[in-house]
Amino acid sequence: DTAVSQTPKYLVTQMGNDKSIKCEQNLGHDTMYWYKQDSKKFLKIMFSYNNKELIINETVPNRFSPKSPDKAHLNLHINSLELGDSAVYFCASSQAGANVLTFGAGSRLTVL
């Protein structure tokens, strides 16, 4: 049973398109995150939700819009994709107030 699952695993799309990545965790955690890992392997926080409430919103273009319908799900929608959006996007979760993250397998986005 996968603890943090992301779909799709791979996305290849053209510039200007819109795409979504879905994430679900079955660990009972209260906090979920989106991290972006670029080609240089730098892993950077984008957003964090605690029990459906947005608590961290880093300096991310507003083309990126997270949504958390419930505390087990955190989705990421990206509008008007750009070449620089190509990266691996990791979803993660943790207990509230804890910093031990469990990561999903990642979603590799390639923008052509």
Partner 1 sequence: QKEVEQNSGPLSVPEGAIASLNCTYSDRGSQSFFWYRQYSGKSPELIMSIYSNGDKEDGRFTAQLNKASQYVSLLIRDSQPSDSATYLCAVTRPTGYSTLTFGKGTMLLVSP
Residue ranges in contact with partner 1 by CB under 8 A: 33, 40-45, 48, 50, 55-56, 90, 97, 99-101, 103-106
Report the distance separating Cα 22 and Cα 30, nearest Å: 17
Complex with partner 1: residue 15 or 43, whichever CB lies closer:
43
State the nearest-atom distance from the C-beta of 52 to partner 1, in Å.
14
Other CB atoms within 10 Å distance of the CB of residue 38: 13
Partnered with residue 64 across adjacent β-strands are: 78
State the nearest-atom distance from the C-beta of 1 to partner 1, in Å.
16
Complex with partner 1: residue 37 or 79, whichever CB lies closer:
37
Tokens 């730098």 — which residue?
42
State the nearest-atom distance from the C-beta of 40 to partner 1, in Å.
7
H/E stretch holding 32 reads: strand 31-37
Tokens 């965790």 — which residue?
25
Complex with partner 1: residue 34 or 81, whichever CB lies closer:
34
